Amino acid sequence: MNNQVLVIDGGNTHLKLGWFVDGTLTKLLRAENMLHLEGELTLEIPIALANVGSFGLDAYLKEKGFSWIDITLPQLLPFKHHYKTPSTLGIDRVCNMAAVYMLHPKRNVLVMDLGTCLKIDFMDAYGVYRGGTISPGCSMRFKSLHHYTAHLPLLTAEKSWGLAGKSTHESLIFGVMGGIQAELEFNMEAYAKVNQDLIVYLTGGDAHYFDFGQKKSIFVDENLTLKGIYALYRFQNS
Domains of the chain with CATH codes: 4-70 (3.30.420.40), 80-138+168-236 (3.30.420.40)
Per-residue confidence at 14, pLDDT binned at 50, 70, 90?
confident
Give the Cα separation of 208 and 213 in Å (integer). 12
Select the more confidently predicted residue: 173 or 2: 173
Give the Cα separation of 49 and 185 in Å (integer). 33
In this prediction, residues 28-43 reach a mean pLDDT of 85
The amino acid that residue 15 corresponds to is L
Sort strands 4-10 and 15-21 into parallel, antiparallel or unpaired: antiparallel
On the question of pLDDT at 190 being above 60, the answer is yes
Among 82-86, 110-114, 146-150, the range scoring the smallest mean pLDDT is: 82-86
Q: Kindly report the average pLDDT of the chain as a whole number.
A: 91
In this predicted structure, what is the pLDDT of residue 1? 46
146: part of which helix (H) or strand (E)?
A: helix 138-147
In this predicted structure, what is the pLDDT of residue 2? 60
Going by C-alpha positions, the residue among 237, 229, 217, 235 that lies closest to residue 104 is 217
In this prediction, residues 199-207 reach a mean pLDDT of 93
Q: Distance of alpha carbon 34 from its chain centroid, rounded?
A: 20
Residue 17: HSE in the Cβ half-sphere, 13 Å Cα cutoff: 20
In this prediction, residues 30-38 reach a mean pLDDT of 82
Q: What is the pTM of this model?
A: 0.89
In this prediction, residues 150-155 reach a mean pLDDT of 97
| Cβ atoms of 180 and 210 closer than 8 Å | yes
Task: Give, in order, the Cα–Cα distances in Å from 17 to each of 47, 102, 169.
Answer: 10, 20, 35
Cite the active site residues: 92
In this prediction, residues 202-214 reach a mean pLDDT of 85
What is the per-residue pLDDT across 215-234, written as a single tens digit (0 to 9) for each?
678 999 989 999 999 999 99
Per-residue confidence at 163, pLDDT binned at 50, 70, 90?
very high
What is the rounded (10 degree) CA torsion for 100, 206, 229, 123? 30
Per-residue confidence at 213, pLDDT binned at 50, 70, 90?
low
Going by C-alpha positions, the residue among 102, 100, 96 that lies closest to residue 114 is 96
Going by C-alpha positions, the residue among 226, 185, 189, 187 that lies closest to residue 204 is 226
What is the per-residue pLDDT across 111-144, written as a single tens digit (0 to 9) for each?
999 988 999 999 999 999 999 999 999 999 999 9
The amino acid that residue 215 corresponds to is K
In this predicted structure, what is the pLDDT of residue 71? 87
Contacts of 169-173 spanning 24+ positions with Cβ under 8 A:
172/142, 172/145
Give the Cα separation of 131 and 118 in Å (integer). 14
Per-residue confidence at 72, pLDDT binned at 50, 70, 90?
confident
Contacts of 194-197 spanning 24+ positions with Cβ under 8 A:
195/108, 195/110, 195/122, 195/124, 195/125, 196/108, 197/107, 197/108
